[in-house]
């Protein structure tokens, strides 16, 4: 399912504010013409060299940013990078916390159930 049609934001809309993952400068996460979220960092260091780092996100993160922007009353939200897909998207095995308090299952060291060893007679008996 395409998420690009939901919570549409005009191209150039500032969806969120964050700090550049490279240089730590403040950046604005904007929507591109498809609603995809991206930023471009124009911060320069003491020598005047620009960071130029950029990031863009796929439709799931972009959708979440547009939704947050909309729900905040169409004001940019504060985002902390890196942005990741939410917990509910994590595979169940990875999301399940290890529970050290659980006792081991009974019979965990028991030998596997023996197979029937009845004589069948004939060749294999």
In the complex, the residues that contact Zn ion under the rule CB under 5 A are 20, 22-23, 25, 41, 43, 51, 53
Q: State the Cα–Cα distance between residues 12 and 31, nearest whole angstrom.
A: 5
DSSP secondary structure string for all residues of 46-100: TTS-B---EEE--HHHHHHHHHHHHHTTS-PEE--SSP---GGGS-HHHHSPP-T
- For Zn ion, which is the closer residue by CB, 52 or 85? 52
User: Residue 14 Cβ, how far from Zn ion at the closest point, in Å?
Assistant: 17
| Rounded least distance, CB 81 to Zn ion, Å | 11
Least gap, CB of 55 to Zn ion (angstroms): 10
Nearer to Zn ion, 9 or 79 (CB): 79
Q: What's the token pair of residue 123?
A: 């060749």
Give the nearer residue to Zn ion in terms of CB position, either 14 or 23. Answer: 23
């Amino acid at each position: 399912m395409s998420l690009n049609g939901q919570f549409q934001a005009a191209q150039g809309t500032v969806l969120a504010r964050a700090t550049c993952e490279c240089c730590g400068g403040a950046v604005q996460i904007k929507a591109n013409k498809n609603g995809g979220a991206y930023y471009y960092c124009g911060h320069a260091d003491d020598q005047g060299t620009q960071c130029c780092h950029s990031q863009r996100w796929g439709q799931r993160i972009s959708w979440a940013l547009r939704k947050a922007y909309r729900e905040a009353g169409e004001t940019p939200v504060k985002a902390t990078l890196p942005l990741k897909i939410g917990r509910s998207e994590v595979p169940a095995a990875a999301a399940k916390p290890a529970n050290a308090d659980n006792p081991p299952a009974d019979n965990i060291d028991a030998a596997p159930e023996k197979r029937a060893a009845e004589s069948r007679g004939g060749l294999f008996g």
